Structure 1
């Protein structure tokens, strides 16, 4: 089981004003320098390589446009992150950088579109990249099918579910039935989740209390101030933070 820390740098210790875009090599180095655990996100390149990048499209974070999955890993590596000096790193590159120095929390982004069963290739790419990695690492996803696939392929890999209140205003791409189901968190036992990482603003949901009663750990996302951290830690065991230094 991974040692789930109290403070986890969200998309690494990023600050674009200081040349450290989210999920960048510079942000990874900054988190390592301060000894913070690191959360990163994974999207697929067109050739199946696991890339460390949050969005499904390039537009917000780079000067390029279109889906991440429409470009090869080499192309993405040459696509400079806005506000930084480097391109998009692969998961393998980030693992080599971290090299077990701090715990690493990997969120596999949904590729189905409706949090459904159309999963597998990206999860397999993550498992392949992790082969032989000796550091503390855990994986998670909003999509329970993704976590179930990870459990089947790598049963010893610590894993959890990323969870939320699934407010329709924030999740318009999901149908109401899907939002209701995910909000109820019925898949914890099925996927062997050892923790959840829950929306910080919704930690008072009764479902979170039920998760705690099972003995599972509670992380949360995203905390942006020391005041918000203190509030979150009344319920959560750890916070994924950005925008301040704990």
Structure 2
């Protein structure tokens, strides 16, 4: 049964991104969570790390402990070892290529967060860009990271890549850095709204996407906001089923 379209309370111009897929109902960053999000969201956000044998795997934490029945760092495990793990409901950790295949025939935007906050995975920027280009999805993928070096390397590799800078509520040099690498957006928490950086970026027509908001009643003033990321994607229905 198709969900009934409801006009969101903040207006129809703010897009909805499923944070790690429909992660309120399904295991985060799994194919089941991504598939379930497709009827409700304009975008899907996920996290990518690099296995020991150089494969792009979709998982948020640097270890597999929290989300699977295994233990250890992603960087110390081969893809084969990672494939043997499962969530409580039996879902597996997918590769980025599997997710790209899943969304290929849809029209959603994919936000790939490169998880290089703790471990600066050698070559992850090139491998991720290569995977995206192999599926010819360059125009539908946004790359983000908290690590500025990662975004600089990505820009050097791909002048046409869509880039978003991740921050909490802004930081010194944010606007200059966004201009330097030609980022299209900043991804920030709601506290970013109303700051001087926010005002400057809006004047520059940069996009503002907020994370992670799960209760429609807790939305800030959405003026100047282009998208929100949420685990509770069905509560923010903004489109009808395809």
- With the shorter chain as reference, the TM-score category is 0.7 to 0.9
Q: CA deviation at 1:90?
A: 0.4
Q: Which residue of 1 aligns with 2:223?
A: 234
8 Å contact kept, 1:51–1:91: yes
Q: Which residue of 2 aligns with 1:188?
A: 178
Structure 1 consecutive aligned stretches of length 4 or more whose deviation exceeds 3 Å = 33-36
Out of 192, 197, 207, the residue aligned to residue 187 of structure 2 is: 197
Structure 1 gaps of 5+ residues are: 167-179
Greater Cα shift, 205-214 or 31-40: 31-40
Q: Which residue of 2 aligns with 1:44?
A: 50
- The answer on 1:210 being equivalent to 2:215 is no
Out of 132, 135, 141, the residue aligned to residue 134 of structure 2 is: 132
1:79 and 1:5 map into 2 onto residues whose CA distance is 37
Structure 2 gaps of 5+ residues are: 1-12, 237-242
RMSD: 2.1
Question: What's the TM-score, normalizing by structure 2?
Answer: 0.83
SS of 1:215's partner is coil
8 Å contact kept, 1:120–1:146: no
1:57 and 1:159 map into 2 onto residues whose CA distance is 26
Q: Which residue of 2 aligns with 1:93?
A: 98
Q: CA deviation at 1:134?
A: 3.1
Aligned residue pair count: 220
1:12-31 residue pairs with structure 2 within 5 A?
Answer: 12-15=21-24, 18=25, 20-31=26-37
- The answer on 1:105 being equivalent to 2:94 is no
Q: CA deviation at 1:226?
A: 0.9
Q: In the TM superposition, what whole-angstrom CA distance separates every residue of 1:30-76 from its partner, at most 9, and x where no partner exists?
A: 01243542001111111111111101111111121221111111221
Distance 1:93 1:126, change over 3 A: same
Q: CA deviation at 1:228?
A: 2.5
8 Å contact kept, 1:13–1:30: yes
Q: CA deviation at 1:78?
A: 2.1
Q: Which residue of 1 aligns with 2:10?
A: none
Q: Which residue of 2 aligns with 1:66?
A: 72
Q: Which residue of 1 aligns with 2:211?
A: 221
2:203 and 2:34 map into 1 onto residues whose CA distance is 34
1:96-175 residue pairs with structure 2 within 5 A?
Answer: 96-101=101-106, 102-111=108-117, 120-135=122-137, 136-165=140-169
Q: CA deviation at 1:232?
A: 5.0
Structure number with the bigger relative contact order (C-alpha 8 A, sep ≥ 6) is: 2
Distance 1:243 1:154, change over 3 A: same
